[in-house]
Amino acid sequence: MFIDTHAHMISRTTDDYEAMAASGVVAVIEPAFWIGQPRTNVGSYIDYLSAIIGFERFRAGQFGIRHYCTIGLNSKEANNEELAENVMEILPRFALKDGVVAIGEIGYDDQTELEDKYFRLQIELAIKLDLPVMVHTPHRDKKSGTYRSMDVCKEHGIDPSKVIIDHNNEETVKEVLDRGYWAAFSIYPSTKMGTARMVELLHQYGGNKIIIDSACDWGISEPLAVSKTARLASLQGISDDVIKLVCYQNALDAYGQSGQMKESDWLNPPPIDQRTFYEGNSILRGQREPVIQDPKSKRNKDDLSID
């Protein structure tokens, strides 16, 4: 079983859910993020957050995947101060919804003053609500941006064990781990972190406090990145215990601190019945035969599928 802690499924097709389920993914976390087109008003943000809390949870469940999300104002849109102020007003009510496991993804893009302002405000919101934080590290000047992110977290007194620093690479991982934060890695086909590079880091650092995710989105990305990395790691001599840590257990331990994510959610899930509807809509098209699962079917918690 695998958990993908960073998957922008609103940008993916239903076929991706089907493929992820077949590869062993039992749970995904969908972080609120920049959708590619700048949002012009808070209403579009409300609709977006409602979709990742509502319809995406339903769509994932139609394939036996438990869907969670994180709620936040992303760093890029933090630079639109009027929008940012309005979004900050509505975030607390969304952060209290079922299935929200963290405030995120937040942090820096160009490391502007406005990004810093709203990063700090959202850390304070996470502290107030006792939620973990998912930190987006910048694509440009990543090393200094990552270190700065951790410095800010320290200034605000949030426990490093409640903070997941994402999009790490070889330059940042040691410092992140040494400071006691969770180090997450986004496995991309050609950027951020590849499967072979990730396996090398597992040989070097082991699995303690390391999390592997796909960060699949509207760009060129791989929704099966977690299972593919697990497979390569196994072939290259990484133990099953380490693979389970980085592809499953660490994710559960980090985001389970929210109180919203429990192993029983996917070990004893509601049975799949693709005849069901969400707001009058089905995932089925045409005359496709619905999948209807035996209500008694359960998963084995010791199953680590590396095929």
Task: Give CA–CA dist 140/77, Å, rounded.
Answer: 16
For residue 92, how many other CB atoms are within 10 A of its CB?
12
Task: Give CA–CA dist 236/263, Å, rounded.
Answer: 28
Which residue is it, tokens 């977006």?
A: 48
What range does the domain containing 206 cover?
A: 2-267
Could you give the strand order of the β-sheet that contains 182-186, starting from the edge strand earlier in sequence? Answer: 2-4, 25-31, 66-71, 100-107, 133-136, 163-166, 182-186, 210-213
Domain assignment present for 295 = no
3-state SS track over 1-68:
CEEECCECHHHCCHHHHHHHHHHCEEEEEEECCCCCCCCCCHHHHHHHHHHHHCHHHHHHHCCCCEEE
- What pLDDT does residue 305 have? 53
Which residue is it, tokens 């099953």?
A: 240
Domain assignment present for 39 = yes
For residue 135, how many other CB atoms are within 10 A of its CB?
30
Domain assignment present for 228 = yes
- What pLDDT does residue 174 have? 98
Domain assignment present for 294 = no
Q: Looking at the 3D structure of the chain, how many domains does it have?
A: 1
3-state SS, residue 154: helix
Nearest to 67 by CA among 261, 212, 215: 261
Please give the helix or strand (H or E) that residue 119 lies within, else none: helix 113-129
Residuewise pLDDT in 10s, the chain (307 residues): 999 999 999 999 999 999 999 999 999 999 999 999 999 999 999 999 999 999 999 999 999 999 999 999 999 999 999 999 999 999 999 999 999 999 999 999 999 999 999 999 999 999 999 999 999 999 889 999 999 999 999 999 999 999 999 999 999 999 999 999 999 999 998 777 899 999 999 999 999 999 999 999 999 999 999 999 999 999 999 999 999 999 999 999 999 999 999 999 999 988 888 889 888 888 888 778 889 887 656 666 666 555 5
Domain assignment present for 280 = no
Domain assignment present for 278 = no
- What pLDDT does residue 304 have? 53
- What pLDDT does residue 249 have? 98
Q: Is the dihedral of CA 230, 234, 237, 243 positive or negative?
A: positive
- What pLDDT does residue 269 have? 86
Buried b (16+ CB within 10 A) or exposed e, 179-202: bebbbbbbbbeeebbbbeebbebb
- Looking at residue 161, the DSSP 8-state letter turns out to be G
Task: Give CA–CA dist 192/185, Å, rounded.
Answer: 8
Task: Give CA–CA dist 263/26, Å, rounded.
Answer: 10
CATH number where 69 lies: 3.20.20.140
Output the pTM of the full model.
0.94
Domain assignment present for 282 = no
Domain assignment present for 11 = yes
